[in-house]
Amino acid sequence: MVNLYLIRHGRQNSTLCNTDVELSKVGIAQCELLRDRLKNYHVDAIYSSDMHRARQTAEIINGALGLPHEIRAELREISFGLLEGKTDEYNEEHFKDFMEEQNKLIDDLPYPGGENGTSVYERAMPVLQELVQSGKKDIVIVTHGGVIRSILAALFGRNQARRFLFATSLENSSITQLRFDPDLDRFYLERFNDCAHVEGHPELRRRASF
């Protein structure tokens, strides 16, 4: 069996849509707790997207693991296109029609000027397929909420438009574990949105920012 630990990066240092910035102080604290948790696992490889928040998350985790850290651009967050760098209020006003259609969960709509769930899956999934054939057994992959949702939707038979049904909000620094059986060529979902390492710190949970 191969274990893939899909990690959502720590909280970023901006509330603007998908800006490529580093972690906030809260995000660093989340990742330090995750690091302390993962040092008890038998991780033998660590990968991340090329976005700052994912790379920094991986670097903090790797402080306890001391492994080669490989960066893969295919694991970066879904492109929000014209919505990127804008506030939620701006996007709700200027892209209202798009958001209303997206919220119907019928069609896998691309963000205006950006990607849809299928395009994210098609660029990210080959990396996972490569890793489960690599001979490594326990692999940390630091990526993004949009990527995790797109992968889960495809693997477990959901229309990509309905990927948003995988949690109202993925917790920053959470673990989603996939287990791959090479004999059956099959993925299993072992855990989802697991953030036990921050449960004793309510100020670090996403609801604390609302």
Residue 25 belongs to some domain of the structure: yes
Count of CB atoms situated within 10 Å of the CB of 1:
12
Residue 98 belongs to some domain of the structure: no
CATH number, domain of 205, equals: 3.40.50.1240
Q: What is the pLDDT of residue 207?
A: 64
Residue 95 belongs to some domain of the structure: no
Distance CA 167, CA 22 (A): 24
Q: Mean pLDDT per segment of 10 residues, for the chain of length 210 residues?
A: 98 96 97 95 96 98 95 98 97 97 97 98 98 96 98 96 94 98 96 94 71
- Number of folded domains in the chain? 1
Residue 121 belongs to some domain of the structure: yes
Q: What is the pLDDT of residue 203?
A: 87
Distance CA 66, CA 46 (A): 10
- Give the tokens for residue 176: 């989603």
Domain that holds residue 172: 2-78+116-209
Give the predicted TM-score (pTM) of the model. Answer: 0.95
Residue 35 belongs to some domain of the structure: yes
Q: What is the pLDDT of residue 59?
A: 98
Q: What is the pLDDT of residue 206?
A: 78
H helices within the chain, ranges in order? 25-38, 52-65, 88-94, 96-102, 117-132, 145-155
Residue 36 belongs to some domain of the structure: yes
SS in 3 state form for 119-147?
Answer: HHHHHHHHHHHHHHCCCCCEEEEEECHHH
β 175-181/2-8 pair status: antiparallel
Q: What is the pLDDT of residue 210?
A: 37
Distance CA 169, CA 158 (A): 18
Residue 2, H or E segment: strand 2-8
